[in-house]
Every structure is written in C-alpha cells, then in structure tokens.
Amino acid sequence: MTLHSEGHALAISATGVDHDYGKRPALHGVDLSVAAGEMVAVTGPSGSGKSTLLHALSGVLRPGEGEVRLGEHVVTSMSEDARSRLRRTDVGVLFQFGQLIDELTLAENVALPLLLERRKRDDALATAKAWLARVDVVDLADELPGEVSGGQAQRVALARALVTNPGVLFADEPTGALDSRAGDSAMELISDIAAEEGLTVVLVTHDARIAAYADREVVLRDGRVDADESVGAR
Ligand SMILES: Nc1ncnc2c1ncn2[C@@H]1O[C@H](COP(=O)(O)OP(=O)(O)OP(=O)(O)O)[C@@H](O)[C@H]1O
Ligand SMILES: [Mg+2]
C-alpha cells in the first residue's frame, strides 16, 4: 500500500562539518552524501559522533562549521524557526525508545504531528489509522502505549515519524531496545516503506546485522569518517 502517490525522497549532503560541545570535539571535517532513496547505516564506537552527526543532518543542531543540505534546503543557513518547521514537515525521526506519550492512545500518538500542523482531528486520526495499518498494528489503535509490546510500540513510533510524509527518516538506534526478531521485523518494515513511499534513511546502529539492511555503511571514529562503503561490497 502506498499512502502517498509521489516519492519525494530528499538527498542529503554534509560538507566539512565540524562540531564541538564547548571544548569537547565531536565531529571533524565530515563529508557525507546520501542519494535520494538511499539507506545509509552510521556505525562506530560509543562517543564517535554518530548522534551528533544525525542532529547536524536533521537540523537539531547547527554545527560550528560546514554545510548541510536536505534536498533544496541549505539547513545550515536556516534560522532555528525555519529548521524546526522543516523538521516538522519534511523530516521523520525515530529513537531507541519510541518516546510515545503514555496518556494518549496509539492512534492519537500517531496523529499528533498532524494535529500540531492544525489538521482537523477526524482527518488526522483517519490518516493515523492508515499508518497503523501499514505498520501492522491497527488493531491496537485505541490502546495506550503501556499496554503493548516494545516491538509494537516501536512500529507505532515509526508510523508517527512518517505520518507527515517526510522525505527523509533519521533513526538513532531504532532497534537498540528490541530483541533480534523484533529488530529484524522493524528493519524489514522500514526497508519496505522506504522503497514504496520514496524515503531516504540514515540510521545509527552498533549492530552489524542491522547495518546489513542498509545500502551503505559509514563508520565514524573520533568524529571522522573512517570508512564509507556499499554494504554489498563487504
Ligand atoms: N550534549 C552534549 N554536551 C557535551 N558533550 C556532548 C553532548 N553530546 C555528545 N557529546 C560528546 O560528543 C562526542 C560525540 O558524542 P555522540 O553522542 O555524538 O556519540 P555517539 O557516537 O552517538 O555515541 P553512543 O554510541 O554512545 O550513542 C562525545 O565525546 C560526547 O561525550
Ligand atoms: Mg549516540
């Protein structure tokens, strides 16, 4: 099922990205290009800058140096407000723990980004339910997050990340809290949806099995790109 007709995956490019947190260096001269529709896994040791890179690419932080582009947008030249608006409409994010709101039903959780964009409630809930069906948990639409499994909650978080039809999905250890079976099933779902809907995916993982779902693996070490190769080539 395709929930919107045109693929509108965004290409991503980072050029000469440097970032320090105060005196602590996190990224040095990172160059990275991701083609529209490509899935890239970012791996590397703890503290190597993976999450910082994701934050720089998604416009959560403006790096000290360098340029980031998402599609046509030069993210590093945009104001804070323009970056948050871009994130709300064109960027989906998924975290290790789904970060669903406990007091809202699963359908309301998925509808939330649309409600924040002032879509009508009935319309937002109908779109949310279509996404819950797409991730195979529509039966749970009226449950609360506390009443479902971790794997189911992560599918709901994926639906929420995609409900605004973003052109890019950034995922930081999306399977880190799941067992290997739930992790595989989440990755199969992400790959299928990315191919069907037209989505560029950058995902951080420390798990080689999860990285194998990607087209390319970029390895960070001490804030630098240490390797960048297509997964099939290994
Ligand atoms: N908010 C912050 N304030 C200060 N230093 C930070 C902050 N976030 C990250 N750092 C530092 O920046 C460097 C890169 O951190 P980052 O979180 O990007 O690594 P990571 O590769 O995601 O690690 P992990 O695998 O543990 O999640 C580390 O030295 C870290 O201590
Ligand atoms: Mg991290």
Beta carbon of 49 within 6 Å of any ligand 1 atom: yes
Which residue's CA is the closest to the ligand 1 atom numbered 13?
A: 26
Of the candidates 169, 60, 155, 43, the one whose C-alpha atom is nearest the C-alpha of residue 98 is 155
Q: Whose CA is nearest to atom 6 of ligand 1?
A: 21
Amino acid residing at 177: A
In angstroms, what CA-CA distances link 119 with 3, 92, 127?
A: 17, 18, 10
1 is a domain residue? no
Query: What pLDDT does residue 64 have?
Result: 95
- The CATH number that applies at residue 210 is 3.40.50.300
Mean pLDDT along residues 22-42: 96
State pLDDT tens for residues 113-134.
Answer: 999 999 999 999 999 999 999 9
Q: Is residue 2 part of a domain?
A: no
Tokens of 156: 């709901």
Instruction: Calculate what percentage of the chain has a pLDDT beyond 70.
Output: 96
Residue 232 has pLDDT above 90, yes or no: no
Contacts of 140 (CB under 8 A, 6+ apart): 106, 132, 147, 148, 152, 156
Whether pLDDT at 1 is above 90: no
**Ligand 1 probe mutation, 20, 52, 54, most atoms within 8 A of CB:** 52
* CA of 27, closest atom in ligand 1: 14
Atom of ligand 1 nearest to the CA of 48: 21
Annotate 14-31 with three-state secondary structure: EEEEEEEECCEEEEEEEE
The tens digit of pLDDT for each residue in 179-210 reads: 999 999 999 999 999 999 889 999 999 999 99
Q: Is the CB of 221 under 6 A from ligand 1?
A: no
Ligand nearest to the backbone CA of 46: 1
Q: What is the pLDDT of residue 189?
A: 95
Look at residue 233 and tell me whether its pLDDT is greater than 80. no
Q: How far apart are CA 50 and CA 55, in angstroms?
A: 9
C-alpha 135 – ligand 2 centre gap (Å): 26
Which phi and psi angles does 209 have, rounded to 5°? Answer: -65, -40
Residue 5: its pLDDT value, please? 43
Please state the domain count of the chain: 1
Reported residue count of the chain is 234
**Chain-wide mean pLDDT for the chain?**
93
Cα 132 to Cα 140: distance, rounded to the nearest angstrom: 8
Rounded to the nearest whole angstrom, what is the distance from the C-alpha of residue 28 to the centroid of ligand 1?
13
Q: Quote the percentage of the chain above a pLDDT of 90.
A: 89
pLDDT tens per residue, range 64-122? 999 999 999 999 999 999 999 999 989 999 998 878 999 999 999 999 999 999 999 99
Instruction: Phi first, then psi: give them for residue 39, nearest 5 degrees.
Output: -115, 120
Q: Is residue 7 part of a domain?
A: no
Q: Give the residue numbers spanning the domain of 72.
A: 12-233
Which ligand 1 atom sits closest to the C-alpha of 22?
4
128 in a structural domain: yes
Q: Per the domain annotation, does 39 fall within a domain?
A: yes
Q: What is the pLDDT of residues 155-178, one digit of tens each?
A: 999 999 999 999 999 999 999 999
The confidence band for 231, taking pLDDT boundaries of 50, 70 and 90, is: confident
Cβ(47) to ligand 1 under 6 A? yes
- What pLDDT, on a 0 to 100 scale, did the predictor assign at position 165? 94
